[in-house]
Structure 1
Amino acid sequence: MEGQFKKRDHGSEACKAAGGAVRDALYVLNGKWKLPLIATLSDGPLRFNDIQRALGDITPKILSKELKELELNEFVKRNVFSTTPVTVTYELTSYSQTLEPVLEELKKWGTQHRERIIANRRQSADVELTTQE
């Protein structure tokens, strides 16, 4: 079988810890908007409406929820300025930079996966065409 995972003792403490770590990472980054939100803020601090405009069809309620979760996980900092009216901006923290290698690897894998699926679909379509002739 192609590219199997290493065999492990799934009952071992090391395996349970690794599974828990992956679950924690997925929990923090899970969802339709977290990664696009992080990418949007990577260019610098933005106000709520600017973030919403940049992301497109996200609702204010969902954007607020996502920003709060990213703030709780120390990826986003909320800045309140005592202007009239009050100005609030959101920016990435220095801790969010720890995601850079993770996101880079995820991007590489995503590109490879997409290319593989497209190639397999083309190959299937070619086989289907030759069998019909």
Structure 2
Amino acid sequence: MEKTAGEWKEKQVIKYHSSPDQITLSEEVKLAAIVAGLNIRLRSADMPFSMQEHAVRLARSFIDSSSSRRPNLTLLARSIKKEFDRCYGLAWHCVAGKSFGSFVTHSPGGFVYFSVDSYSFLLFKTEVHLISDDPRC
């Protein structure tokens, strides 16, 4: 509302899409092309596209580099977790397997669930709280 000449008039505000929205759409299309090319299926995500791409490329490369017919999923999950700890800060967790259920609480922007071939991956970040020596806490 805007007051002009003693009268209140409704002011129309038009919002135009800015270039960040276009970049986001472009990143989304790029990620979709990458996962399709790598035989990966994104199930759910609350994570920036660049981090999702990093996670799926890591998983694909670890599976492809496995010398055995069946990759060691424990080692694979640990490797992804350590890489994300190194790149994006501590408190990342990774679950890898053929069949599992989960219910997790994650930090905003720190969750992705995807499948590579017949293996599923859950990668998420939790909040870190410092432990106090104060017995009242």
- What's the TM-score once normalised by structure 1's chain length? 0.25
- Say which structure is richer in helix: 1
Higher relative contact order (CA 8 A, sep 6+): 2
- Say which structure is richer in strand: 2
- What's the TM-score once normalised by structure 2's chain length? 0.24
